[in-house]
Amino acid sequence: MAKITEIDDLKRIYKRRTPKMFYDYCESGSWTEQTFRENSSDFDLIKLRQRVAVDMTGRSTASKMIGQDVAMPVALAPVGSTGMQHADGEILAAKAAEKFGVPFTLSTMSVCSLEDVAENTSKPFWFQLYVMRDREFTKRAIQRAKDAGCSALVLTLDLQILGQRHKDIKNGLTVPIKLSPYTLLDLATKWRWGMQMMQTKRRSFGNIIGHIDGVSDMSSLSVWAAESFDPQLDWDYVKEIKDLWGGPLILKGILDADDAKMALNVGADAIVVSNHGGRQLDGAMSSIKALPSIMDAVGDKIEVHLDSGIRSGQDVLKALAMGATGTYIGRAFVYGLGAMGQHGVEEALRVIHKELDVTMALCGEKNVQDLGKHNLLVPRDFYGDWA
Ligand SMILES: Cc1cc2nc3c(=O)[nH]c(=O)nc-3n(C[C@H](O)[C@H](O)[C@H](O)COP(=O)(O)O)c2cc1C
């Protein structure tokens, strides 16, 4: 078996084993993909301060996210259709996260349902909510998340309308897959994926089918999905959802200091500085560049998390040292999942953990919670002088 030493190793295997339309669905940003690219390349602009002659024994990456213990402050981000990247993908990823001691976030648009993931895991996971026009569906989803024992609600705010990803249109992406001569040809070389898919019954959107009136099959679901995200979602409705849920609330998709202040005002427990991995507003700032202004605005009043562009433990360290208290990986765990199922997600977490731990040591730190700006060299013009 190939030796996995970095996240890119998993990505290469993932690409070989997964149908092109699902690989493309994951590995793309909206329009020109500028924000998608800069999410990662902006991490490279920040340098680490090497320190020496510091006792490095007894290191710890353990921390807390929204008051919950984590083996390292790296959660699995909500990723729609994960169950199409690998059969039973959400359950496998949740199991890997549970084993590693980090949070797993289940997307509204998952293949395995809330109930299914709860039945197949033993620790509470987080549920990510997309607000739908059908407010009864939203209410029921919140109740189902409570019944499934979810320990946080992650409300995504940056996808009321879909950013265009050219490849999905060109590939004719559907869940489940629709067979055309082109997809048949592609599938012929992805036999492992196909065999595993044939052995599972989970092949459509498990949180939606059967939970919304008039949607019992995929043809009506595709019509529903295209029109279903609620463009009227505003801060009043966010407040309503917070009250309805009544538990820890994380607001995801904050990229602007003014929005961070609004999130604070509605009483969220944490925010995720995120541009949806560059899949929504192309031309928006990378998350790591947006972080300093958000830290200045609310950093001492609310927990600030970050995602988008993280591909290594060094990236995690940079985000934490810039002030975030938690991070999420999206694509980095999907690469692992598509490459090797649950084991691949565990490998992705192992790689990131090792990089974080060793890098922390080489920066002269023993505890992840002590990381700070003193560990970094940040260009004076990093944030930029914007009019
Ligand atoms: C294939 C894919 C599907 C995604 N689906 C969702 C989703 O259903 N809900 C959500 O809030 N975010 C979704 N996201 C965004 C992720 O939660 C996260 O913000 C993003 O992946 C972080 O960037 P990274 O992939 O560079 O780590 C998705 C991202 C990807 C790559």
The residues pairing with 254 across neighbouring beta strands, listed in sequence order, are: 273
State residue 173's pLDDT score: 78
Query: Out of 86, 166, 211, 276, which one is annotated catalytic?
Result: 276
State residue 30's pLDDT score: 96
Please indicate whether residue 223 or residue 100 has the higher confidence score (pLDDT). Answer: 100
Ligand 1 center to 154 CA (angstroms): 12
pTM, two decimal places: 0.97
pLDDT at 282 over 60: yes
Give the three-class secondary structure for 129: strand
276 is catalytic: yes
Ligand 1 center to 271 CA (angstroms): 15
Does residue 79 have a known ligand-binding role? Answer: yes
Domains of the chain: 7-377 (3.20.20.70)
pLDDT at 176 over 70: no
pLDDT at 224 over 90: no
Determine the residue of 128, 165, 276 to mutate for testing ligand 1's pocket, defined as the one with the most ligand atoms within 8 A of the Cβ atom.
276
Ligand 1 pocket member 29 (CB < 6 A):
no
| 3-class SS letters over 46-87 | CEECCCCCCCCCCCECCEEECCEEECCCEEECCCCCHHHHCC
Q: What is the mean pLDDT of residues 149-164?
A: 95
pLDDT at 175 over 80: no
Calpha distance 362→356 (Å, rounded) = 10
Sign of CA dihedral 118, 119, 121, 124: positive
Atom of ligand 1 nearest to the CA of 108: 8
Atom of ligand 1 nearest to the CA of 278: 23
pLDDT at 218 over 70: no
Does residue 180 have a known ligand-binding role? Answer: no
- Whether 131 and 233 have beta carbons less than 8 Å apart is answered as yes
Ligand 1 pocket member 165 (CB < 6 A):
no
State residue 258's pLDDT score: 98
Please indicate whether residue 214 or residue 203 has the higher confidence score (pLDDT). Answer: 203
